[in-house]
Chain A
Amino acid sequence: MRVNSRVGSFPVFFVLCGLLLVALTLEVSLGPIGISPGKIISATLAYFQGSRGADAVVMGAIRWPRALVAALVGGSLAATGAVLQAIFRNPMADPGIIGVSSGGSLGAVAVIQLGWSQAGIWVTPVAAFLTGLLTVWVIYRLATVQGRTALYALLLAGVALGSLASALMSLLLSLAPLETMQQILFWLMGGLDDSSWPVAGILAGVTLVGGGFYFWLAPALDVLSLGEEQAEGVGVSLQRMKQLALFASAMVVGTCVSATGVIGFVGLIVPHLLRHWVGPSHRRLLPASALGGASLLLLADVVGRMALQPVEINVGIVTSCLGAPFFLYLLRRRTTGTQGG
């Protein structure tokens, strides 16, 4: 077989952009107050011109911030998943695995518990980022011996510290008064209810910086797929690259976690799925994953809000419920496919 089964980049990006547009439209138009797609633009403009009509407020103050946060978090998690899968050379790697997610949410939960989160909107994101980074740093130090970082040790340390962070979070939860407990549960389930324009703004800034950084790393990530020795042979400075990638992912995931809590499976599934269509090159895979992750989280939120109306399901629960079986299906299909030749 000497055929190239990839689809050209242009059609894939065209489809992904279309999907994102559809997902955004559904997210902002569906809900307890339905707003027809034709009115989206006029209602949004009305909100920014100071109108306080029902449609305008729902659109401008609730739906758009929520949609933007969902898109930015989904895109960031998926792109980070692609980066971590390349660094670990393991398709099972995702933001959860290096402990950033659980470390970050532990920081957020601790700040809420201590009541510091009232001090300003930036306190929780900064705390999540710092504890996420601290977790990554500890894991990195544990796995680095004589200037070399063993990836399996990094993975194992990540799993162990992730469990520790989860345990500490449960401890905080059991000690928390009732109203704080509600807030903490929100982190554990992953939801978009706290979305606001400032949150979306912070996320956009971090995503832009982090995404640019990921894109800059793309050629090195490509080479790394051949193995560490080969990557070094063509000029990749391995140790520095691992440090930079881990720092950037801690920054991006920490900020995402602070905005929405832990949302699983997006970082795992999206790059996995898109790799078959756009090929392994990270120059294409990273932007494609960002678009795909954004669409996935938006659609998951639409399902979560609409499926059991008037009850809203947290988006993190939806992604896990949809993601886990889908991932197992992919895994199964790949295994049988390989065996079948």
Chain B
Amino acid sequence: MGSYILKRLLHGAFVLLAISLVVFFALRLTGDPVMAIMGQGNPTQEAVDAMRRSLGLDLPLWKQLFKFLGDLAMGNLGTSFRNNQPVMPQIVERMPATLTLAGAGLFVSLLVAVPVGIISAVRRGGFLDIFGRIFALIGISFPNFFLGIMLMLVFAVKLRWLPASGYQGFKYLILPGLTLGLILSSIITRLIRSTMLDVLRAQYIQTARAKGLSERLVIFRHAFRNAMIPAVTFIGLQLGALLGGTVILEQVFSWPGVGRLALDAISNRDFPLVQGSVLILATVMVIVNLVVDLSYGFLDPRIKVGGKGA
């Protein structure tokens, strides 16, 4: 188990190195950050050259790359081109907002997807199944920013039940959390429905029923638990989409998270801040993937993570 985790962490480090190289080169294809910083001030050529020197952008690309990797190895993500502050604390400061929103989205999606998915499977072809499938289809077809603005118009502008945007307490979380959760729940609903249908056809379910167990016990103890394994893998993979979804919704709901920070940094060509944000989000993804793999053992005792005798 220990060596498995070590191997996976090493693997994760390589993934992060590859990502950092891709981000480094991709950013340098996007244009001159000096003009993005000074452009509004209508600067002279001398001022632009001086700024380029002070940001180290006059160095050859390979020197910039080695400096970046060297700093990274020391855990230093660099200093923002815009406000001259270290990048790491700026990102760490934003993480709670993003994780809160992603957590709320996940919570809402499971709250909706698990019952709807199970009912759709158990009452296959029935009214509730059709309703569940239509719900899932709508969710998949809706862009999240559109759903967000619609929910805002209904619950904030028309009904005045909730604040439209901002970050000041629980009620401010409801609309963005609901938007993110509903979109994600539609995909998870479909997955739970199909895996439940597979499991319900399995022989051990017939055995359980033949033993005279109640339908509730058959569904929840035997069927649902087994249906959860592919669902957990899928949800783990969807966390990437969840964090991606927060980028847009943070903008729509004026939510001060890492996504919005990264988005601003991209349009400002603030290279260190973009590199830092991408690397931190990628690190979160690597860790989540590891946790998902480890959770299989918890869900199904027959699976021994990293072992030979599964």
User: Is chain B found bound to chain A in the same assembly?
Assistant: no
